Structure 1
Amino acid sequence: METKKQIIFSRRSFLKTSTLASGGMLIGFNLFNACKSDVAPPIDLSQLNYDDFNAFIKISSEGKVTIFSPNPEIGQGVKTSMPMIIAEELDVPWKDVYVVQAPLDTKNYTRQVAGGSGSIRASWEPLRQTGATAKQMLIKAAAIRWGVDVTECSATEGVISNAKGEKLGYGDVVKEAAVLEVPENITLKDPKDFKIIGKGKGNVDIDKIITGKPLFGLDYKEEGMLYACVLRPPAFGQILDSYDDSMARNIPGVVDVITIGEKARAILNVEKPNWSAQMSKSDKVVVLAKNTWAAIKGKKAIKAVWKVSTKLESTEDHDVILNDLLNGNTFDNRRKDGDVKKAFAEADKVIERVYEAPFLPHNPMEPMNFFANVTPEKVHLVGPVQTPEAAQKVVSEMLRRDLEDIHLEMTRMGGGFGRRLYGDFVYEAAEISAKAKKPIKMMSTREDDMTTGVYRPSTKYKFSASIKEGKITGYHLKDAAVNNNLYKPITTFFPAGSIENFQVDSVNYKSNITTGAWRAPITNFLAFAEQSFFDELAEELGIDCVQLRMDLMEKAKQNPEANISYEPARLQDVLKLAAEKANWGNVAKNVYQGVSAYYSHASYVAEIADVVIENKEPIVKRVTCAVDCGIVVNPLGAMNQAKGGVIDGLGHALYADFSISNGIPQSNNFNSYQLIRMGQTPKVDVYFVESDVNPTGLGEPTLPPIGAAVANAIYKATGKRLYKQPFMSNLILDKVTG
């Protein structure tokens, strides 16, 4: 490997700006100091003399560095890891770095989105270039002051030195550096020289989180703000007919009752991916109040009459419809290698299985909310959203305001899992404020989120495989889903390239139930179905489950012309690592192991679950997880993400169920919708493959494999195959082994 990497760097891509407000009160974060009695007071950064170096960096004369984190922080850790990348190449001590959430700024930043585990993957090179360019300009400024050649100077830990032993801090030359010509050629560090990247750093917001400081959208307040609660149709397929608000208006604290929906409906027919399907075609009743409690009480006091506008659908209907579609002949062919039909006709045996997934709500800890203040001068929006730029554009069109009028600030999010990709709550807040002519904060309850939200589509997969002379000769996947325009299987993932005759077909049922991306879209259930099916094939062939996967990956390696998006060798490596660390096949007699290996979001994950039977119930005791996500920027945050993905996926696979009857969701809170409890979580051991490859996704890839690992282990323990989620609702232990 070369020790230096030359980058051709465009002046235009390194955006210098003086528009960012300098100063401001920021908090110095000292990890876990909130638990100590001798906590140092926060540094008042407004008292420091800052200069805006560029859109990402401000450096004070005291050498303190403020780095702006541009992407939404949804719990995936980018507010910590993205500044770490800049700080590494800038070469400043992490203790001197302060991190601030940047607002939406389409001129200075790109891809201000939290979704698809793509923040670090997309920003790795640009963020490194930002830090390295700033460092090079600071060194040049020092060289000019000293009257020496820039090659005689170097910088480390925020200090510039020359051959004579003279030293200057970054803060000493920041003013001169900021006005220099931006260099086109810069040198990035060799990964072996990293001092910050690869070292575990605590969450930069941890002090505020554990002490309850204002940080999330629900915390945001402004003087004179009203609280708004929205009454939406209780069933998908209903619209508002009439309402009586007399009782609501008599509740102390209620200020007004209005309706919204007209502005949203005016642009509903415009095809806009990522938002239009989530906008109700009904009017909505909004209660405005001086406090949250009054707004919620007022909403409950509204007597509304709803009428049916389209069919009221039920889960039972969908089961029949999707089965009929799977067994029909109308499909959209997604991929066709070889001749599956011929392979099946010539086979010694064809194995066919169907796997079923329910709708799932997202249920982030923080319900949907957003602040809006629409005035003639500007539209001020503040809150937690994963797609701020898309939200800005829709509000601009809906209110017929210039984009420049829409100022959107992002707060930290109390979870999202894909729900906050859809900005319906932003548009509601903007429309409410525009009509009320007051600053408002739209507040949803847990019941609102679960019953009037966006759901993972209900899906059925049919897998068929042909076996001839002990080999898999054909593989056919058919999927049928409710609104599967987003959920069509990705055809370049494993096992593509490993089976000569390979075909994937899709069919869609269009529904009025709003669906969308749910954590690890597509793969969150497809991985369970596919990897469970491979275990059945391994059993049929009399081959070890791990070995069958390794053999198929080896075939993909020998097929370089195949249209695949994964590297078979890396998938093999994580599978080997997981098997080694889990002691595959050599555990105690009463421990049953299941395996799963999956590629998604450009990362490779293999998981092995250890299951035991206690009181005639399968208990997941341990999960061994091997991950190849390239360079790990922040090992502490990465470990948390990996373990969180495993536990999230496990809980939903075991317990989460969500049905709809006549358009009405049948669960509205956690008393009827089970999430995994702390006592039900297993020990999770995570091992990262050491790598010098650029970072890939990590917020989602550990979730997809866990379902199959557990289902395969449960089969070994009980003899019962699982084809539907949630497992615990579909598992009856007539006979228990072990």
Structure 2
Amino acid sequence: MAFEVLPDAFHAQEPNVKPQTSNLKPIQDMSTSRRDFLKWTAAGGGGLLLGFTWTGTRALDHIEADGASAVAPVEFNSYLSIAPDGTVSILSPNPEVGQGIKTAFPIIVAEELDVDWTKVKVLQAPLDSKRFERQVAGGSGSIPHSWTRLRKAGATARQMLMEAAAKRWSVPVGELTTDKGTVIHAAGKRKATYGELANEAAQIPVPTDVKLKDKKDFKLIGSSVRNVDNKAITTGKPLFGLDTQREGMLIAMVQHPPTFGNKLKSVDAIAAKAMPGIVDVVTFKDNIAIVGKSTWQVKKARAAVKAEYEKADELESSSDHDRLFREMLASGNATVRRKDGDVEAAFKNAAKVVKAEYQCPFLPHSPLEPMNFFAHVKFDGDKPVSAELIGPTQTPELARNETAKLLGITPDKVTVDLTRQGGGFGRRLKADYVHDAVEVSRLVKAPVKVIWTREDDMTGGSYRPAVRYRFEAALDAQGTMIGYRLRGASINAGNATREHNFPSGAVPNLLIDSVDHKSPITTGAWRAPITNFLAFAEQSFLDEVAQAAGKDPVQFRLDLLEKAKKAPVGDVKYDIDRMIGVIKLAAEKSNWGKKKDVAQGFSVYFSHLSYVAQVGEVVMQKGKPVLQKIYAAADCGIVVNQSGARQQIMGGIVDGLGHAMYGKMTFQNGTPEQTNYNNYRLIRLNEIPEVDVHFVDNGIDPTGLGEPALPPTGAAAANAFFKATGKRLYNQPFAEQELFKGVS
């Protein structure tokens, strides 16, 4: 670990808002040299900056408060700075995609530091893989990964401040306490603010071992804290990639092949180049980039470009996919993912067999902010030597490394500043739109911001894979499930199953396998990959099996979990007690099975280390089933920010319900048929049910929350619709199914 002095000059550049975030300018204006940065921050004197290296062993013992000493570069993971006025600035390294990480990370640091939250300023850190770990927004893994690291960062600073106060007052550290950014010596009736102690703390050797707070003493963690970007968002401050501006910056739009698998044959851009504001029209790979001075000028010129494409040998349509699914489900070449017991014997001797198939379509990600990115490739003659990147990416290190590879330079020559993202849902895990910006900047030798239109965004990939599942369950004469078979047939999903998820481990004879078709239609991670649809299929099927067994759906699941607990079959890779806990909490809060004139449907799922159970409630209105409420019980360990966590649960439910009800992407000869919201349906405000959220308070370290609420939603709704109408839903989107067409 190491620390450095932070001057007033650093804070003077930040807006005077508490708590608030700065724009990106101070970070972007810093020198790329770590040594220069240290000299600059030390120049003004005063204040304390702490940087922590959790993977290295190097540390600075101290730095002179006046900045006279030269300081060697140090690898950091996170920054904590304290100004003389007591203001605490915390750099948040991970991409903010709306999941609230830019608020949650600083909360954890501030809790252990024991500082007044109104004195905290949050700064978005740029990419720096030497100082930071896992600068990624994906897999709901940010809080689980950084929980202890962030706590230690705050606790270490607090310990140093207390030692500085103890030295000043010549008293034992054990006699001191802290509260809201102040060190207190009750016996001597003395106190000093963190700002007053910052310079002295800079002289204290960094402790190698610090005591973390007892969780029962948390003041900030577990409370409701407003998102630190709220004011900037609501007042239109520049936060997002689309807001990026640079002197001399050009705007570019890129026309990709309209059909998956097609190749660019010829381009006629004479008319486009002659239009006002157009700087150039360039091609790279099979793409055409129109470059100009404004978005509107570029968009108009793009329409004037004429292009011919060579068609691919095989162009897939959605009707082809139906055939492919049938073939894959009948295939004898499936990959076995898990096998327990004697499955054939179980089905041969079964008193009853239940079978069902479920299908989901391709889905676009449809983030509110379309793909965009800024790139400035810099040259020495005709040779690229460095690149500056700014924009919304869930994987900034991938963006940097892909850029370096593209330009033939080393990654250290590429800087990446992160903007807030107007949604991602897995789409911004990829770097294809970053490639666009880098390629165009290289070709026109100027700073360029590439902007995708909504049509580009929806038709250019990458989609959620399409999948069809076949389930079979064998029941004995007592209604006990003695056999279970699942086959996942997918297009570009690889393994479309999660073979170790429930009910694996609870059924004595089980077979799970998968078959995959490789398609030119590009696919990728979509919020809660695979489980976003698998959970609907599994939990809907378990309801159907419970009905066939003559058992209550909730009790049926609890009985299976008790079997897995007492006599597990093979590996059980989910926490049985945590799953039981959310099931019982959801049943309790929803008053399961005890309401009149309300049809209830149940679902529970484990994903991204967390557990969420849901109860959907449907009422009949004018002869039509209406989903009016969803209860959600979540076990994600300690809730860092109640406000942010509830928003994540509700957002996941709305996302899951909307796409289960309406979302569908189809193709005709390799060309997407849905191009914008006029023909791609999203859920509407008046269609969102009331959501009642509850958390299990078990005191364990936090687990994921950005994705786990989405998977169980489809089944909670579908099972409630069945209870109300007697009609099962097997395919998404629900709105196209007979249940909603035939009910009057």
Same fold (TM > 0.5): yes
Q: What SS does the corresponding residue of 1:99 show, helix, strand or coil?
A: strand
**Partners of 2:5 and 2:46 within 8 A in 1:** no
In structure 2, relative to structure 1, the CA distance for the partners of 1:204 and 1:49 (3 Å cut) is farther
After TM superposition, the structure 1 stretch with the greater mean CA deviation from structure 2, 15-24 or 460-469, is 15-24
1:298 positional shift:
1.5
**Partners of 1:718 and 1:733 within 8 A in 2:** no
2:55 pairs with 1:52: no
Cα deviation code 1:660-707 (max 9, x no counterpart): 111111100001000000011111111111120111111111111111
1:491 positional shift:
1.9
**Partners of 2:19 and 2:119 within 8 A in 1:** no
1:48 and 1:294 mapped to 2: Cα distance? 49
> What residue number does 1:553 align with?
561
Cα deviation code 1:43-82 (max 9, x no counterpart): xx99995442224211101110000111000000000011
> What residue number does 2:179 align with?
156
2:668 and 2:403 mapped to 1: Cα distance? 33
**Partners of 1:22 and 1:51 within 8 A in 2:** no
1:17 and 1:413 mapped to 2: Cα distance? 31
Query: Aligned ranges for residues 136-147 of structure 1 at < 5 Å?
Result: 136-147=159-170
2:303 and 2:129 mapped to 1: Cα distance? 40
Q: Which amino acid aligns with 1:597?
A: V
> What residue number does 1:724 align with?
731
Q: Which amino acid aligns with 1:232?
A: H
1:563 positional shift:
1.4
2:495 pairs with 1:472: no
2:137 pairs with 1:130: no
In structure 2, relative to structure 1, the CA distance for the partners of 1:48 and 1:519 (3 Å cut) is farther
Query: Aligned ranges for residues 631-642 of structure 1 at < 5 Å?
Result: 631-642=638-649
1:562 positional shift:
4.1
Q: What SS does the corresponding residue of 1:233 show, helix, strand or coil?
A: coil
**Partners of 1:31 and 1:202 within 8 A in 2:** no
2:134 and 2:352 mapped to 1: Cα distance? 49
2:441 to 388, 413, 433: 433
**Partners of 2:6 and 2:82 within 8 A in 1:** no
2:671 to 657, 664, 678: 664
2:45 and 2:587 mapped to 1: Cα distance? 54
Q: Provide the aligned C-alpha RMSD in A.
A: 2.0
Q: What SS does the corresponding residue of 2:195 show, helix, strand or coil?
A: helix
Query: Aligned ranges for residues 512-527 of structure 1 at < 5 Å?
Result: 512-527=520-535
2:317 pairs with 1:314: yes
2:233 to 201, 204, 209: 209
1:696 to 688, 703, 707: 703
1:286 positional shift:
0.4
Query: Aligned ranges for residues 348-497 of structure 1 at < 5 Å?
Result: 348-376=351-379, 378-469=386-477, 470-485=479-494, 487-497=495-505
Q: What SS does the corresponding residue of 2:629 show, helix, strand or coil?
A: strand
2:623 and 2:607 mapped to 1: Cα distance? 35
In structure 2, relative to structure 1, the CA distance for the partners of 1:537 and 1:15 (3 Å cut) is farther
Q: Which amino acid aligns with 1:151?
A: G
In structure 2, relative to structure 1, the CA distance for the partners of 1:564 and 1:372 (3 Å cut) is same
1:156 positional shift:
2.3
After TM superposition, the structure 1 stretch with the greater mean CA deviation from structure 2, 378-387 or 149-158, is 149-158
In structure 2, relative to structure 1, the CA distance for the partners of 1:540 and 1:134 (3 Å cut) is same
1:99 to 122, 133, 146: 122
**Partners of 1:48 and 1:62 within 8 A in 2:** no
In structure 2, relative to structure 1, the CA distance for the partners of 1:25 and 1:588 (3 Å cut) is farther
1:105 and 1:528 mapped to 2: Cα distance? 39
> What residue number does 2:686 align with?
679
**Partners of 1:596 and 1:706 within 8 A in 2:** yes
1:348 positional shift:
1.6
Structure 1: where are the runs of 5+ without partners? 1-13, 33-44, 262-282
2:358 pairs with 1:335: no
Q: What SS does the corresponding residue of 1:134 show, helix, strand or coil?
A: helix
1:88 to 101, 111, 123: 111
**Partners of 1:236 and 1:512 within 8 A in 2:** yes
> What residue number does 2:275 align with?
251
> What residue number does 1:273 align with?
none
1:526 and 1:648 mapped to 2: Cα distance? 15
1:18 positional shift:
7.5
Cα deviation code 1:181-220 (max 9, x no counterpart): 3222110001110011011000100001111111100011
In structure 2, relative to structure 1, the CA distance for the partners of 1:28 and 1:194 (3 Å cut) is farther
In structure 2, relative to structure 1, the CA distance for the partners of 1:477 and 1:496 (3 Å cut) is same
With the length of structure 1 as denominator, give the TM-score of the two structures. 0.90
**Partners of 2:6 and 2:47 within 8 A in 1:** no
2:692 and 2:326 mapped to 1: Cα distance? 39
1:174 positional shift:
1.8
**Partners of 2:92 and 2:123 within 8 A in 1:** yes
> What residue number does 1:655 align with?
662
**Partners of 2:467 and 2:488 within 8 A in 1:** yes
1:143 positional shift:
2.2
2:521 and 2:12 mapped to 1: Cα distance? 45
Q: Which amino acid aligns with 1:86?
A: V
1:731 and 1:177 mapped to 2: Cα distance? 70
In structure 2, relative to structure 1, the CA distance for the partners of 1:735 and 1:229 (3 Å cut) is closer
Q: Which amino acid aligns with 2:362?
A: F
1:29 positional shift:
4.4
Q: Which amino acid aligns with 2:208?
A: E
2:731 pairs with 1:708: no
With the length of structure 2 as denominator, give the TM-score of the two structures. 0.90
**Partners of 1:334 and 1:491 within 8 A in 2:** yes
**Partners of 1:85 and 1:633 within 8 A in 2:** yes
In structure 2, relative to structure 1, the CA distance for the partners of 1:25 and 1:75 (3 Å cut) is same
1:177 positional shift:
2.3
1:404 positional shift:
1.3
**Partners of 1:392 and 1:403 within 8 A in 2:** yes
> What residue number does 1:300 align with?
303
Q: Give the percent of matched residue pairs that are identical in Structure 1 and Structure 2.
A: 49
**Partners of 2:46 and 2:199 within 8 A in 1:** no
1:19 positional shift:
10
In structure 2, relative to structure 1, the CA distance for the partners of 1:442 and 1:121 (3 Å cut) is same
1:310 and 1:169 mapped to 2: Cα distance? 72
2:17 and 2:503 mapped to 1: Cα distance? 46
Q: Which amino acid aligns with 1:372?
A: A
Cα deviation code 1:231-259 (max 9, x no counterpart): 10000010100010012112211111111
Structure 2: where are the runs of 5+ without partners? 21-40, 52-77, 380-384
1:288 to 286, 291, 295: 291
In structure 2, relative to structure 1, the CA distance for the partners of 1:205 and 1:499 (3 Å cut) is same
Aligned residues: 689
1:65 and 1:578 mapped to 2: Cα distance? 40
Q: What SS does the corresponding residue of 1:722 show, helix, strand or coil?
A: coil
**Partners of 2:2 and 2:206 within 8 A in 1:** no
1:119 to 121, 142, 159: 142
1:160 and 1:644 mapped to 2: Cα distance? 40
1:522 and 1:29 mapped to 2: Cα distance? 42
